[in-house]
Structure 1
């Protein structure tokens, strides 16, 4: 499933534009801006599956770096600092990766 099937293209573009500069990414603001925060848990889990590129059931640090590309192919890569901050914010059990429940909890925070 593509994000454009779940979210409005104009909302995705607006959110990506808001975080174009390096070290400006805020996952909570981003998920709100793209409209994901307002979606049901089921829809958030669909978004999670789209971002879990290797279908491992987790979003690992390497996948997080490219999370914006999961919303649009022209999304920028996150910096190492942004990636680590995103992981620290979402990884509640400390296993170094984000599970579907952790992702859903972060989006709806």
Structure 2
């Protein structure tokens, strides 16, 4: 499944482009611009599954670093600072990774 099966290519491009500068990433604004905030719980789960590259059921810190590339191949890597901030925002139970429910909560909070 491709990200464009869930989100529009135009919205993805707009969202990724808005955070082209290093240390500018804001997950709340990104989810809004990408159109993810308006999606159903099932669609949010599909996006999570795409981002969960190793299919572990969690998005770990090393997967978060490449989250923009999960939306589009020409997305940049997140900086270590951005990755840690994103993980801190999403990791509600403190286990060092983001599960599907945590991801859905993170998107809903945006």
Q: TM-score range by the shorter chain?
A: over 0.9
2:78 corresponding residue in structure 1: 78
CA RMSD in angstroms, aligned pairs only: 0.4
Q: How does 1:21-36 map to 2 (within 5 A)?
A: 21-36=21-36
1:46 corresponding residue in structure 2: 46
Shift of 1:30: 0.2
2:17 corresponding residue in structure 1: 17
* Greater than 4 Å deviation, 4+ residue runs: none
Unpaired segments of 5 or more residues in structure 2? none
Shift of 1:99: 0.1
Q: How many aligned residue pairs are there? A: 109
CA–CA distance in structure 2, aligned partners of residues 97 and 8 of structure 1: 27
Query: For each residue in 1:29-61, what CA deviation from the matched residue of structure 2 results, as whole angstroms up to 9, or x when unmatched?
Result: 100100001000110000000000000000000
In the alignment, does 2:96 pair up with 1:96? yes
